[in-house]
């Protein structure tokens, strides 16, 4: 009951904080499962597992978290297992044997476990070297007859510390641990290393895993141009293949890569100057037939939405900046955790505070109405704020491109030329990226 309540509250709060997308099979894996994920965003990463699966999952967390006032209470209530790290307290390392035995026992009983084998949260663009603990736990459980599967989980954040940014949860193909069982004790270390490397391959398949952050805008613009050329939409799986292709392209043809990188970066910069976020926006034609419906729709939104939005701003304007202020001095990989936890606490306190004020001022009827209406008003305020950003972008695009026809035409021509070059590059490198379980670049 406690787990179900925590899962429901945290999953809802995360969907309010982020725009969450999930790429996973319809049914959650059954039987003994070890979910392994990349770890770029502190406590947010394990919390996203609540959205990925409805199964009750046993979490493994670093021991110092169990001493924190609220987080420690939650972890103990969720029956999480403490991991004792050398950098936290070298004298406690021996206690990990009990943790590993408990994790093995959970898998033998057919339960699910979540672990982040990088061993730390970080903000580097590629996976850190994986620890062998996940492989050891899985092999120990498989040795006792458990049909353990390891499921890679990729977490890709558009801007991990930004409210209402996008996060993609991508579930990879399960890894059958039984196939890695050693024939005898002498082969144990080789089996652990082989399984750890297989887990690393699985994680690399569901994460961007860039060598350097400078590659990210190149990957994004390349995918935008390819989608523009193909007449389709942006594809998260193809984006990861672009990341793999960029690594290979830079290694094999560094000079050609550098020329294309400069062209793509320059094109992306010039698009931003005319307020266009995607290449296809350069080909938009503004005629009375599509401008009039846009104007009417925008006017109706403003007439009916602005009064409620103004009320929401008046009620929530004071607590809204508090999460951002609380995270100001935090390191990048824990900023979102601080923001999220602060937002949850502040939202609940503010909600009950408004309810109490209404009850004292207007009686129990006003208090009840406030208690019921404040959450939907808060959600509407957030939704309207997002839509307002979209409306503002559309208006800026209309006025900017409408008055810069020559620049728009030049950029469109350049975009089409670059799109052709990117398409040829995709065709050239697609065979080199083909591997068991991998999708081709062009889909």
Contacts 24+ apart (CB under 8 A), 160-164: 160/40, 160/41, 160/44, 160/332, 160/335, 160/336, 161/327, 161/332, 161/335, 161/336, 161/339, 163/17, 163/323, 163/324, 163/339, 163/343, 164/17, 164/18, 164/19, 164/382, 164/386
Task: Provide the pLDDT for residue 280.
Answer: 63
Q: Give the range with max mean pLDDT: 283-297, 320-334, 341-355, 388-402.
A: 341-355
Element (H, E) at 83: strand 81-83
Is the model's pLDDT at 200 over the cut of 90?
yes
At 103, is the pLDDT very low, low, confident or very high (cuts 50, 70, 90)?
Answer: very high
Task: Provide the pLDDT for residue 399.
Answer: 63
Angle formed by the axes of helices 236-252 and 405-433, to 10°?
80
- Lowest average pLDDT, out of 235-239, 252-256, 266-270, goes to 235-239
CA distance 73 to 17: 23
Question: Coil, helix or strand for 244?
Answer: helix
Is the model's pLDDT at 189 over the cut of 70?
yes
Task: Provide the pLDDT for residue 37.
Answer: 95
- What secondary structure letter does DSSP report for 131? P
Are 96 and 105 in contact by the 8 Å Cβ rule? The answer is no
Stretch 361-389: mean pLDDT, rounded?
A: 86
Task: Provide the pLDDT for residue 442.
Answer: 35
Are 61 and 39 in contact by the 8 Å Cβ rule? The answer is no
Higher pLDDT, 223 or 352: 352
Are 26 and 80 in contact by the 8 Å Cβ rule? The answer is no
Contacts 24+ apart (CB under 8 A), 313-317: 313/381, 315/354, 315/374, 315/377, 316/350, 316/378, 316/381
Stretch 143-149: mean pLDDT, rounded?
A: 95
Stretch 66-93: mean pLDDT, rounded?
A: 85
Is the model's pLDDT at 390 over the cut of 80?
no
Q: Residue 11 corresponds to which tokens in the numbers above? A: 């999953």
- Lowest average pLDDT, out of 169-183, 235-249, 334-348, 426-440, goes to 426-440
Hey, which bits of 73-222 come out as E strands? 81-83, 112-115, 149-157, 166-171, 175-176
At 5, is the pLDDT very low, low, confident or very high (cuts 50, 70, 90)?
Answer: very high
**What is the residue-averaged pLDDT of the chain?**
83
> What pTM did the predictor assign?
0.73
Task: Provide the pLDDT for residue 398.
Answer: 61
Is the model's pLDDT at 291 over the cut of 60?
no
At 122, is the pLDDT very low, low, confident or very high (cuts 50, 70, 90)?
Answer: confident
Is the model's pLDDT at 236 over the cut of 90?
no
Are 335 and 161 in contact by the 8 Å Cβ rule? The answer is yes
Stretch 422-435: mean pLDDT, rounded?
A: 81
Higher pLDDT, 403 or 277: 277
Higher pLDDT, 334 or 251: 251
CB 279: neighbour CB atoms within 10 A?
24
- Lowest average pLDDT, out of 276-285, 319-328, 366-375, goes to 276-285
Stretch 107-123: mean pLDDT, rounded?
A: 92
Hey, which bits of 161-316 come out as E strands? 166-171, 175-176
Q: Which residues contact 13 (CB under 8 A, 6 or more apart)?
A: 340, 343, 344
At 181, is the pLDDT very low, low, confident or very high (cuts 50, 70, 90)?
Answer: very high
Residues paired with residue 61 on neighbouring β-strands, in sequence order: 82
Higher pLDDT, 280 or 279: 279
Task: Provide the pLDDT for residue 441.
Answer: 34
Q: Which residues contact 314 (CB under 8 A, 6 or more apart)?
A: none
Is the model's pLDDT at 126 over the cut of 90?
no
């Amino acid at each position: 009951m406690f787990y179900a309540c925590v899962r429901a509250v945290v999953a809802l709060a995360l969907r309010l904080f982020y725009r969450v997308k999930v790429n996973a099979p319809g049914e959650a894996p059954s039987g003994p499962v070890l979910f392994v994920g990349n770890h770029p965003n502190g406590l947010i990463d394990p919390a996203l597992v609540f959205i990925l699966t409805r199964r009750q999952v046993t979490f493994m967390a670093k021991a110092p978290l169990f001493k924190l006032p609220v987080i420690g209470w939650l972890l103990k209530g969720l029956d999480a297992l403490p991991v004792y790290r050398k950098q936290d307290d070298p004298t406690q390392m021996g206690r990990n044997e009990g943790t590993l035995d408990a994790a093995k026992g959970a898998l033998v009983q057919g339960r699910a476990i979540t672990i982040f084998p990088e061993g730390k949260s970080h903000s580097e663009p590629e996976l850190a070297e994986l620890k062998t603990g996940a492989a050891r736990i899985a092999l120990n459980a498989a040795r006792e007859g458990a049909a353990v599967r390891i499921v890679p989980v990729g977490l890709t954040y558009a801007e991990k510390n930004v409210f209402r940014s996008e996060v993609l949860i991508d579930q990879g193909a399960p890894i059958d641990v039984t196939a890695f069982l050693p024939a005898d004790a002498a082969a144990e270390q080789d089996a652990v290393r082989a399984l750890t490397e297989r887990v690393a391959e699985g994680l690399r398949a569901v994460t961007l895993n860039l060598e350097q952050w400078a590659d990210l805008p190149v990957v994004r613009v390349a995918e935008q141009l390819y989608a523009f050329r193909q007449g389709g939409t942006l594809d998260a799986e193809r984006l990861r293949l672009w990341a793999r292709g960029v690594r290979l392209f830079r290694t094999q043809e560094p000079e050609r890569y550098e020329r294309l990188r400069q062209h793509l970066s320059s094109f992306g910069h010039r698009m931003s100057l005319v307020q266009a976020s995607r290449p296809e926006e350069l080909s938009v034609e503004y005629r009375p037939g599509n401008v009039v419906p846009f104007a009417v729709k925008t006017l109706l939104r403003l007439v009916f939405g602005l009064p409620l939005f103004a009320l929401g701003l008046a009620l929530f304007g004071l607590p809204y900046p508090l999460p951002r202020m609380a995270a100001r001095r935090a390191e990048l990989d824990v900023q979102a955790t601080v923001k999220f936890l602060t937002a949850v606490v502040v939202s609940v306190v503010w909600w009950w505070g408004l309810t109490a004020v209404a009850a004292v001022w207007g009686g129990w009827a006003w208090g009840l109405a406030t208690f019921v209406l404040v959450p939907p008003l808060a959600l509407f305020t957030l939704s309207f704020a997002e839509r307002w950003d979209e409306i503002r972008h559309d208006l800026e695009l209309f006025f900017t491109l409408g008055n810069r026809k020559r620049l728009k035409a030049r950029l469109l021509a350049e975009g089409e030329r670059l799109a052709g070059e990117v398409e040829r590059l995709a065709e050239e490198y697609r065979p080199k990226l083909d591997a068991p379980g991998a999708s081709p670049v062009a889909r």
